[in-house]
Structure 1
């Protein structure tokens, strides 16, 4: 794209040469003369000053900032403008419609129009796959599962039997959905697994990251609401209900029978104990441990998790406490030294007189 075409697409004001051509996107510090970048934060002024980017999207505050890039496009929100351009530079993965010769597809499966089934994929009995879906190499779809249209299973993803995936659901490599949950009952003769008769339902536009697991319900259904995005290495237990448009960062763990409202965000390595709830619009900080109900629209952090401001005050109090203790520790140390000195000198045995 030329600089002029970029400016026209993002609705920005062009400064410099309109004929400069770009064919890729890169950050300021490593962009080349044929690449597009952006600058919207003073922290990166040093990078901008030395950047070799051919065209830079800049916010109005930085349109005259000193720097090598002379072709600049002024927009209110450079990052948003760049996101709108990324599809023009994204290289799509090649795809051949049809069933590969090495794939195993049950005769009772129903395959929609324009579906791609890659090498060594396995499609079980009674499976339904909607139009334009793409089943990656080595992926498996268990018996009785229903996949909507435009579903994407990347390599080695596993859909366990009787699982439902809505339109445009995406499972990344190694993701597993619909497996039986972690449910056992101790008996005198040993531990017995609880049969899981509930379903696992992922509504439309759900995305599950690489090597993440979503368990099916034991007696209830596990349901992931529409538009929810799940990062890599996330575990979601049985009977969990998650609302629409939630975001879960890497290594989040949700224990069984939890309830999570719409629009909830959970930071990396945070966890939630079973049978608790998080209200709609709430945010959970990274590495927080939720062991009680979280009200709507609140931000909680720490372990055990509590309101973020309360958690920060608690941490600040600990820091102040350490400063308060130092003088006391020094005083106690001096007293201890004085006691040791007194003991080492021994008792006073001065003579009090003698007789002749």
Structure 2
């Protein structure tokens, strides 16, 4: 696909400083820009690349003022990062839109309905009594069980496993090898020391605009539903246990784990390798730093937390300063004790 700078600026609502008739046919990083590519500058630590890039055009904030001459044509917008993200989204949509039809072999179960503009890759399996919306893309080697619902414009990447009764909304993305609806980790201890499996009869619901990363697993509920609310984004290699509920527009980074029946609020930000205990709640707007452990409910909204067990970020950082000084403090205490003992 090829567009002019003028067309891109119109799409982004930006103004142009330079040649508006230049042809753009690819997106690039600023430092790797080539003729015909467009890039962006959002973080000023990359500003030096602006003056050396070979990109034909660069998207910048309206408030940005170059410190020296720029060879590329500039497109000034309200937010360069958001504007470039929009271009990435359009490029991604174009890539998926090219995939249509059915590759063989592919299996479609009885009483399953599929909308228009769909794509089903080779060796994909769709069970019985499923409802697949319009423009859904199901890539090769995907397994979809029985009674699954998938909304319009959703993309299921290769090797994903989606089990019975899962409900997936519109405009969702399930990355490669994700597992949605596997059995929750439920075992009842027995008097003889063994564990008896507890049947997991619930399902998983992904609301609209949810993104699930590669190799992430979301367990079905014991009863009821495990729910990922609208707009939530889960990174790769995350474990969401049975009966968990994640609120709207929450983001969770890789290798985090949420234990059973925990409820995470809206607009939370959870760093990599964070662990949340079961049967607790996390208030809206909570920010949890990487490798933290949440052992009890967080009831105050908007807190920033760090540590295991986690407590407020500022207090934790102050504690780390004291912790680093402990060897020196211990030495001083020993010296004072020796002085007292020798008096």
Q: Same fold (TM over 0.5)?
A: yes
Q: Which residue of 1 aligns with 2:257?
A: 253
- Residue 88 of structure 2 corresponds to residue 82 of structure 1: no
Partner of 2:54: 52
Q: Deviations over 1:302-321 (max 9, x none)?
A: 11111111111111222344
Cα displacement (A) at 1:18: 2.9
How do 1:105-116 residues align onto structure 2 when only pairs under 5 Å count?
105-116=108-119
Give the aligned partner of residue 227 of structure 1. 231
- State the shift of 1:200 in Å: 1.6
Q: CA deviation at 1:124?
A: 1.8
Query: Mind listing any 5+ residue stretches in structure 2 that lack a counterpart?
Result: none
* Aligned residue number for residue 32 of structure 1: 34
Pair 1:41–1:323, CA change in 2 (3 A): farther
The 8 Å contact of residues 243 and 260 in structure 1, kept in 2 or not, is answered as yes
Deviation at residue 120 of structure 1 after TM alignment: 1.2
Show the counterpart of 2:220: 216
What does residue 123 of structure 2 align with? 120
Task: Give the Cα separation in 1 of the matches to 2:327 and 2:50.
Answer: 42
Aligned pair 1:300/2:312, yes or no?
A: no
When structure 1 is superposed on structure 2, of 232-241 and 11-20 the one drifting more is: 11-20
The alpha carbon displacement at 1:109 in A equals 2.4
Q: 2:23 aligned with 1:18, yes or no?
A: no
Query: How far, CA to CA, are the matches of 2:158 and 2:303 in structure 1?
Result: 38
Q: Which of 106, 130, 135 is matched with 1:132 structurally?
A: 135
Could you give the per-residue CA deviations for residues 206-233 of structure 1, whole angstroms, max 9, x where no partner exists? Answer: 2211111000111342111112111111
1: CA distance, partners of 2:72 / 2:132: 52
Matches within 5 A, 1:158-177: 158-177=161-180
Q: 1:22 to 1:105 in 2, by over 3 A?
A: closer
Equivalent position SS for 1:7: helix
CA contact (8 A) 2:100 2:117 kept: no
CA contact (8 A) 1:59 1:76 kept: yes
Contact 2:55 2:72 in 1 (8 A): no
Q: Please state how far the C-alpha of 1:137 moved relative to its aligned partner.
A: 1.1
The equivalent residue for 1:182 is 185
Kept in 1, the 8 Å contact 2:164–2:203? The answer is no
- After superposition, the C-alpha distances for 1:127-156 in whole angstroms (9 at most, x for unaligned) are 222333222211111122222333322111
Asked whether the 8 Å contact 1:148–1:166 carries over to 2, the reply is yes
1:51-83 per-position Cα deviation (integer Å, ceiling 9, x unaligned): 222222233554332255253233342222322
What RMSD in Å do the two structures reach over aligned CA positions?
2.6
Aligned length: 333
Is this contact kept in 1: 2:185–2:241, CA < 8 A?
yes
320-329 vs 280-289, greater mean Cα deviation: 320-329
TM-score where L is the length of structure 2:
0.87
- Structure 1 residues 28, 326: closer, same or farther in 2, change over 3 A? farther
Name 1:64's counterpart in structure 2: 66
In structure 2, the CA distance between the partners of 1:152 and 1:3, relative to structure 1 (3 Å rule), is closer
> Would the aligned equivalents of 1:281 and 1:298 in 2 still touch at CA under 8 Å?
yes
CA deviations 1:282-330 (Å, max 9, x no partner) are 111111111111132211111111111111111122234455456678x
Residues 49 and 131 of structure 1: CA distance in aligned 2, closer, same or farther (over 3 Å): closer
1:236 to 240, 247, 256: 240
Q: What is the CA–CA distance in structure 2 between the aligned matches of 1:124 and 1:306, rounded to whole Å?
A: 46
Q: Distance in 2 between matches of 1:149 and 1:27?
A: 31
Q: Describe the superposition over 1:252-286 as per-residue Cα deviations: whole angstroms up to 9, x where unpaired.
A: 11001101111112111111011111011111111
Computing the radius of gyration from Cα coordinates, the structure with the larger value is: 1
- Asked if the contact 1:15/1:70 (under 8 Å) is kept, the reply is no
Change (3 A) 1:249 1:80: same
Q: Which of 272-281 and 21-30 deviates more?
A: 21-30
Cα 1:31/1:145, change in 2 over 3 Å: same
